[in-house]
Chain A
Amino acid sequence: MNGSVRRLAVAAAVLGVWSGGVARGETPAAPAAPSVQVDGRDVSKLSQIEDATLEGLLGLSLEEQLGQTESVSRSRESVLRAPATITTIDATQIRLSGASTVPDVLRFVPGVTVVRNAPGNYVVSLRGTGGLASNNVILLVDGIPLNNPLDGTVSWDLVPLHVEDIERIEVVRGPVSPTYGADAYTGVINILTRTSIGLTPSYLVRLRGGASPQGGSAGSLSARFVHMGPKLELRTFLNAVHDDVAAAPANPAIPATAPAGDRLAAMTVLSLKVSRTSSVSLEIGGVWSRRSGMDHLVLDSQAQTQRLLFGRALYELTDLGGHAGNFRLWAQSINVEIRAPSTAETGFTYDGAGSLRGAVGTDLVFPLSGTLSLQLGGQGSIERIEAPFVNPNANRALRPAYGFYAGLKASPSRALDLVVTGRGDLVPIAAELEYSYRASAIYHRDSWGLRLTGASAFRTPSYVEATGRFIDPASQLILLEGSDHIKSPRNTSLELGATFSPSSRLTISPTVYVSRLSNLMVEDFESLVRRTFRNSTTPRTFLGGELEASWRIADTLTVLPSAGILQWLDGAGEGDANVGVPSQNARFTGGLRVQGVLGNDRWGYGVGATVASPRSYRVRSGIPPIVIASNIPTTAFVSGVLERQLVAAPSLWGSVRIIGSIPGNAVESPLPLATPMGQSAILGIEFRRD
């Protein structure tokens, strides 16, 4: 008898015994129910139920665990099936990062470079666009862009709420102009304001204060109120910040001290559910900020005051044409005014600059069939800028802009999504139609997903680059002059990303990509005179890799490593462009956070560090220009937090936060008067109901 027949005979014998038992009228023993398994372990044999994750017990797929996002396509989709690389940082991760500003939180995201110029003054860039310019990424708050319409820059001091009143930060890396139009050519950072999953109404008052061994102090007073009713939702945020930490340059021979970073911010979101499928919402906010205006044009530490006002009205209709349809109609506006009353020491100032943008738009997702959906959208906007450094012919003019996009998403099988999106934009400055596109194939299973994306996107030239004209009042020399012939810088990339989850405790997301930056902006100089801007004729190509992981070792301990590497395939044109210069980008960045909650969530802790490999700058900058030659060594940012519930009812919390750098007086900006990264110890107390 061969082996198979023998096994069959044994099986039949077993079956026969059981069948016989039933036939004889005996009560059969109740068959044992299959044991509940989580991550390959029998739950009934665990010593503690906490050794099984709730996600594993619920049988959540990786797609369900990663949740949903609207930051990639402006429509709700799962993170796993989104057609771009996205990192999500939730409220707990933000709170336990110990960071007190959004840029410091972003240091832990692979592919993100953060440079602190002075208190409240940061430059954040993505994927190889590290440099001195801060207009290479879009900042959104609840989907509302807050870049200054004048020059596309992001002022991180204008984020209108405390960093711990953020529900989630979503960082989309790679070209996303097909969704957002101009300027989203290296990525988008979307800040989503806090909601409440607990009791309603929930509220919080937070007071923080501390000092730095390098001199200076920091403090904040903030509050939030959230009411989540069945029909009405109201969320209000207030924030007042003083940051005077490490305001003096690291070199004691330089007497200039940057002004403190101070700001006052308020914003409110009011949403009304009109029916089961429709809602309207109104979001308004304002920020007053004062900090050093130091950047690649203003090299001194002059104080600069900014005032931001923004608002959006949104009507949304869901469940359109089936369950996946969605329609939105929105109108939004932003106004930024800049004052720099102190006398500029180096000839250029943003004093008197103001910009206003109003836009109306619509986004529609319509399911054509069970496997095919269409996305259409468009927007029209009007911009008005007024600045003393802009050509009088361009000043105070109303400039319209239009953008339209169309996308198709096909799901030929349950595991495969194919997404194609194209967009055309008529931008206010460039006369020609700018296009952008993205094509993605996403293959996903229960515990892993693979994505291939090709995309191309652009940044529109800013008013400074295209229409600038700054005349030195003393010498009458033209120190800055824009060029109306410049083309839009463009980023074209191909990337392969994966996410997999070997167990319900561990998620790993590696991404590799190749990017080509073309038409990069070059600032040409003559002696003492900034002549004009032009496009670089030499594209830059680089390979990049990013890795992030989340390993929840236990309910009380989560480890979050991240890393990014860059390998430039050509260094042609080294130094001539304002971004995309190999030596100005750290070849390696890495981060590690360890955080968790203990003792029935009454204790919270987190420690983290990021490191960036050396960078070097050999550029002419400022107006009139000076040569900046600076080597930035390997620097590390460290942060930590320990918090404790002091009183249970009413819920009163105390905390201590420490932020520092290695080496202790490290300066990460090449600007001559830049101040160190800073070290501080901050004590906090907060009263919560949530």
Chain B
Amino acid sequence: MRRSALTRYRWRNIAASLFLWPLLAVHPAQASKNRNAAILARVLSFELSLDERVGPSVGVAVIYKRGDPASEANAEEWLQGLAELAAVRIKDRPFFAIKVVYAPDALRAAIDQGGIDVLLVADGLTAESEVIAKLARAKHVLTAGNAASYVERDMTLCVTEQGGNIKIIVNLNAAHLEGIRFSSSLLKLATIIR
């Protein structure tokens, strides 16, 4: 007897679900971070000042707080998301990301010797954000924060999820102080803080 179309459809769905199970099991936060990491990389391609301040490669330091598991986990998610893009170039430049524990000397060394051009601040460093921002302004390095609160204070960029939508937030004053200029094509899509 011929099986009905409905029966065939059910079998296929069950089989497909079983095969796809490993993908569905991925932590949603990591999937989100992968997308945010790609957006962060794309935002860098809209930076008009990139050629002036960046060397042959674009380096991102993901900063986290020592002894803060949430901060470290957050940094690890970002690092994994950015590592996914290892083969992708930004304005013809290779791209790399490293994880750095917060310490002013370590950050300074990463910028001066490690070719770091972006400081991406993970959760848990609110109290330290002012120091990070000061260092970034002195070294003309772009600051980005995991949370919107960083950008509302003194950092330049945030890619975050709000109300189910991904938002790019740009603090123009902070950008100006860091010597960063963005294309109007980006600013049109971003939430601007002046």
Interface residues of A (CB under 8 A from B): 4, 7-8, 11-12, 14-15, 18, 31-36, 43-50, 52, 54-55, 57-60, 92, 197-200, 228, 230, 555, 597, 600-602
* Given known A-B contacts A197-B187, A197-B188, A18 and B22 have beta carbons under 8 A apart: yes
A8 and B18 within 8 A (CB): yes
A57 to B12, CA, bound (A): 31
Q: With A7-B11, A57-B42 given, can you name 16 additional A-B contacts, CB distance below 8 Å? A: A15-B18, A34-B23, A43-B88, A44-B38, A48-B90, A49-B42, A49-B88, A49-B89, A50-B42, A50-B45, A50-B90, A54-B43, A58-B39, A58-B166, A228-B194, A555-B185
A89: min CB distance to chain B, Å: 14
* Given known A-B contacts A4-B8, A18-B22, A43-B38, A54 and B89 have beta carbons under 8 A apart: no
B22: min CB distance to chain A, Å: 5
B19 and A14 within 8 A (CB): yes
A600: which of B51, B95, B166, B172 is its contact (CB, 8 Å)? B51
Q: Which residues of B contact A45 (CB under 8 A)?
A: 87
Q: Which residues of A contact B46 (CB under 8 A)?
A: 54
Can you sample 17 A-B contacts with CB below 8 Å? A4-B12, A7-B15, A18-B22, A31-B22, A33-B31, A35-B84, A43-B85, A44-B88, A48-B89, A48-B92, A49-B89, A50-B45, A57-B35, A58-B168, A60-B189, A198-B184, A597-B183
Interface residues of B (CB under 8 A from A): 8, 11-12, 14-15, 18-19, 21-23, 25-27, 30-31, 34-35, 38-39, 41-46, 48-51, 80-81, 84-92, 95, 165-166, 168, 172, 176, 183-189, 192, 194
A34: which of B26, B43, B187 is its contact (CB, 8 Å)? B26
* Given known A-B contacts A43-B88, A58-B168, A600-B48, A15 and B184 have beta carbons under 8 A apart: no
B35 and A49 within 8 A (CB): no
A50 to B91, CA, bound (A): 7
Q: Which residues of B contact A555 (CB under 8 A)?
A: 45, 185
A33 and B30 within 8 A (CB): yes
B177: min CB distance to chain A, Å: 12
A33: which of B39, B84, B87, B185 is its contact (CB, 8 Å)? B84
* Given known A-B contacts A11-B19, A31-B25, A55-B189, A601 and B183 have beta carbons under 8 A apart: yes
* Given known A-B contacts A34-B23, A57-B42, A58-B39, A199 and B172 have beta carbons under 8 A apart: yes
Q: Chain B residue with minimal CB distance to A15?
A: B18
A36: which of B15, B35, B91 is its contact (CB, 8 Å)? B35
B19 and A54 within 8 A (CB): no
A197 to B11, CA, bound (A): 54
B34 and A36 within 8 A (CB): yes
B20: min CB distance to chain A, Å: 10
* Given known A-B contacts A48-B89, A59-B166, A54 and B39 have beta carbons under 8 A apart: yes
Q: Which residues of B contact A8 (CB under 8 A)?
A: 11, 14-15, 18
A198 and B48 within 8 A (CB): no
5 closest pairs, A vs B, by CB? A11-B18, A4-B11, A7-B15, A600-B48, A197-B187
Count of inter-chain pairs, beta carbons less than 8 A? 128
A231: min CB distance to chain B, Å: 12
Q: Which residues of A contact B194 (CB under 8 A)?
A: 199-200, 228, 230
A31: which of B26, B41, B92, B186 is its contact (CB, 8 Å)? B26
B45 and A44 within 8 A (CB): no
B21: min CB distance to chain A, Å: 7
A312: min CB distance to chain B, Å: 26
Q: Chain A residue with minimal CB distance to B167?
A: A58
A255 to B151, CA, bound (A): 67
Q: Which residues of B contact A31 (CB under 8 A)?
A: 22-23, 25-26
A49 to B80, CA, bound (A): 17
A170: min CB distance to chain B, Å: 16
* Given known A-B contacts A48-B89, A48-B92, A11 and B15 have beta carbons under 8 A apart: yes
Q: Which residues of A contact B30 (CB under 8 A)?
A: 33
A595 to B68, CA, bound (A): 50
Q: Which residues of A contact B176 (CB under 8 A)?
A: 199
* Given known A-B contacts A48-B88, A198-B172, A14 and B18 have beta carbons under 8 A apart: yes
A324: min CB distance to chain B, Å: 16
A555: min CB distance to chain B, Å: 7
* Given known A-B contacts A49-B90, A198-B184, A601-B183, A54 and B15 have beta carbons under 8 A apart: no
Q: Which residues of A contact B91 (CB under 8 A)?
A: 48, 50
A440 to B72, CA, bound (A): 54
A228 to B193, CA, bound (A): 11
B87 and A49 within 8 A (CB): no
Q: Chain A residue with minimal CB distance to B23?
A: A34
Q: Chain A residue with minimal CB distance to B58?
A: A49
A33 to B33, CA, bound (A): 10
